Chain A
Amino acid sequence: MLTLNCPYCGIDCDETELSPGGEAHLKRFGPGSTDEEFEGYLFMRENPRGVHFERWRHAYGCGKWFHAARDTVTLEVFGTYSAQVFEPPKEIKDAITAKRPEWSWREFS
C-alpha cells in the first residue's frame, strides 16, 4: 500500500486515507486561450514512466490538499510538499536528483 506523509499533519497516511487528485503543476487555461491550450490543460497528460508529481488530498484526516513526488514504476516516494506552490521546492528536486541523476525539471505546459 502506498504511504504518503501529509505535510500539514505530519503523519504517515495509507492510501486508503487519501484521495488522489491527478497530475500536479498544470498550467490553467481559460477563456481567451487557444483550442490547443485548452485541450492541453483539460486532457493532455504527462503520464510519465518514472518521476511524477501529483495532487493528493488528506480526505480522512485534515482534509487539505498537498503535493507528492513519486516514481510511478517503483512506487518510491521522493517527498511531499505544500499545495501552495507552482513547482516542487528545491529540497524535493534535490531528493529526486540524488536518486535519479538523469532527471530534470521539465517545463509543464
Chain B
Amino acid sequence: MGRYSAFAVAREALRDHQGWTRAWDNPEPKNRYDVIIIGAGGHGLATAYYLGKNHGIRNVAILEKGWLGGGNTGRNTTIIRSNYLQDPSAAIYEKARSLYEDLSQDLNYNVMFSPRGVMMLAQTEHEVRGYKRTAHANALQGVSTEYIGPARVKQLCPIIETRGPRYPVLGALWQPRGGTARHDAVAWGYARKCSEMGMHVIQKCEVTGVRTEAGKVVGVTTSRSDIDCDKLGIVVAGHSGHVADMAGFRLPIESVALQALVSEPIKPCMDVVVMANTVHGYMSQSDKGEMVIGGGADGYNNYTQRGSFHHIEETVRALVETFPMISRLKMLRQWGGIVDMTGDRSPILSKTPVENVFINCGWGTGGFKAIPGSGWGMAELMATGNSPLTDAFGLDRFREGRFIDESVAAGVAH
C-alpha cells in the first residue's frame, strides 16, 4: 500500500497504472483479537484508527456485515458543522470539525473536505433568538460562528428568496468553517490506514451473538466463525438495539428511516450549505452539480432503508418557498438510512452493563460530521476507561436526568 502523492500519480502514468496496490486487505478472521469493533461505518473505523494511532493498540478487527461504509456513512448528506448549544456537544463536534481540516493529509487520502460555510436560516422570531443565543454560546466555547442579517444571507446565497411570503429570512447562524466532505472517502481513508497498521477490516461478516462469561465479554459469534476478544466496541448506528440485545442490555434508542434525495446535475448555483429548520429542509450542491437535499424521518420504528414517500413531497414543498428555482428541477434519486434516535438527540459513547463492552451510537440524523472526534474519544474511552470528550455522553445520563438537549440545535435532520 504505497503512499498516494503527485509523484505516485506521475510514476503510474508512465507505467500504465500497473503499480497501484489494493487500498486495504481482505483478510480471513483470526481466532482472537485484543479489540473487536462491530460495524465498519465511519465511527467504527475512526475508533479503530485512533486506537492504533493514539494508543498503540493494533491487534484489532473491524467486523462489517455488508460492505464498509454501506450504512449511514455512505448515505448521508455530508454536512459538517459544530454550532451546537451545549458544552459537551461543542467539544466533541468541534474536535471532529477541526480534525476534518487536515484529515486528508493525516490519512493520505483525499476526503474532499470543503469548508464552504454552513448557514442555518432564522425564519421566525423564535429562531432569531435561538440562534443569537447559540452564537453567544459558541463564542464562549471557542467555536467560530456569527449571527448575520438577511442582506448578508442574500449576498452569500443569492438563490434564496429572503422576503417570504410565509417565512421571510430574518437572519442566519453562519459557521464559515463548516461545510461538507466526501462520505465514502472518509470510510475508505480510515479503512486503508487501519489496514496499513495491520488491523483486519473484515467485510461480509455479520455478528450474530456476543459471548460473555461472568458478566464480561469473551468474544462474538459471526456468520463466518467465532472470534475471541478482550474488548468489544459496538458501533452499528441503527442496528444498536439489535446488537445490544445480543449482549443482554437495552438502550434508550429508536431506529427510524431518514431520507435524502438529489436532483439532476446543474451548473454551480450555490457555494454554501443552507439549512432551513422551520420549513424543515436543507440543501447544498455537490461537486457533480446535483442539489443534495435532506428529507424527513419516519415517525415510527423501521429498518427499511427506504422511508415513506410523503416525506419527499413535504421536503420539496417546504424548500420551494425558500429556493423558488428548485421548482423546475427534476429529482434523480432518493434513498434512506436507518438512524438511531435518542431522547435528547445526543449520542451515547459509553461503557455498558457488560464489562469490556463499549457502545458508540445514538448519532441519529447528524453523526457524519462527528466521525473523527467520536473515533478519537471512543478510542480513548476503550483504551483508558474514560475520555474528556465522551464522559458526558454516558448511558447513565438518562437515569440521572442529565440530558444533553440538542433537540433545538438539531431541529432538522442532518
Could you list which residues of chain A lie within 8 angstroms of chain B, going by C-beta atoms?
1-2, 15-16, 19-20, 22-23, 35-36, 39-40, 42-49, 52, 54, 72-73, 75
Would B309 and A1 count as touching, CB distance under 8 A? Answer: yes
Would A1 and B252 count as touching, CB distance under 8 A? Answer: no
Which range contains the number of B residues in contact with the other chain?
20 to 34
Closest 4 pairs between A and B when the two form their complex, measured CB to CB: A47-B241, A43-B252, A20-B300, A20-B299
Would B398 and A49 count as touching, CB distance under 8 A? Answer: no
B308 within 8 A of A: yes
Interface of A is mostly: mixed
- CB-defined A-B contacts under 8 Å, sample of 6: A35-B399, A39-B398, A40-B250, A47-B251, A47-B255, A49-B239
Contact of A44 (CB < 8 Å), options: B239, B252, B309:
B252
Task: Tell me, rounded to whole Å, the shortest Cβ–Cβ distance linking B209 to chain A.
Answer: 15
Residues 240-287 of B at the A interface (beta carbon under 8 Å): 241-242, 250-255
B301 cross-chain contacts in A, Cβ below 8 A: 23, 47-48, 52, 54, 72
Known A40-B250, A45-B250, A49-B239: A16·B310 in contact at CB below 8 Å: yes
B223 within 8 A of A: no
B289 within 8 A of A: no
A42 cross-chain contacts in B, Cβ below 8 A: 343, 398
Would B300 and A54 count as touching, CB distance under 8 A? Answer: yes
B309 cross-chain contacts in A, Cβ below 8 A: 1
Could you tell me the distance between the alpha carbons of A1 and B242 in the complex, rounded to whole angstroms?
25
Could you tell me the distance between the alpha carbons of A46 and B253 in the complex, rounded to whole angstroms?
8
Would A1 and B310 count as touching, CB distance under 8 A? Answer: yes
B327 within 8 A of A: no
Task: Tell me, rounded to whole Å, the shortest Cβ–Cβ distance linking A104 to chain B.
Answer: 14
Residues 325-359 of B at the A interface (beta carbon under 8 Å): 343
Would A46 and B399 count as touching, CB distance under 8 A? Answer: no
A49 cross-chain contacts in B, Cβ below 8 A: 239, 241-242, 255, 303
Could you tell me the distance between the alpha carbons of A75 and B301 in the complex, rounded to whole angstroms?
10
> Which of A36, A48, A72 has most B Cβ within 10 Å?
A72
Could you tell me the distance between the alpha carbons of A75 and B17 in the complex, rounded to whole angstroms?
48
Contact of B308 (CB < 8 Å), options: A15, A39, A40:
A15
B141 within 8 A of A: no
Could you tell me the distance between the alpha carbons of A1 and B311 in the complex, rounded to whole angstroms?
10
A73 cross-chain contacts in B, Cβ below 8 A: 302-304
Task: Tell me, rounded to whole Å, the shortest Cβ–Cβ distance linking B142 to chain A.
Answer: 32
Would B250 and A19 count as touching, CB distance under 8 A? Answer: no
> Which of B241, B253, B255, B399 has most A Cβ within 10 Å?
B399
B299 cross-chain contacts in A, Cβ below 8 A: 19-20
Task: Tell me, rounded to whole Å, the shortest Cβ–Cβ distance linking B252 to chain A.
Answer: 4
Contact of B399 (CB < 8 Å), options: A19, A36, A75:
A36
B241 cross-chain contacts in A, Cβ below 8 A: 45-49
Could you tell me the distance between the alpha carbons of A33 and B403 in the complex, rounded to whole angstroms?
21
Task: Tell me, rounded to whole Å, the shortest Cβ–Cβ distance linking A102 to chain B.
Answer: 15
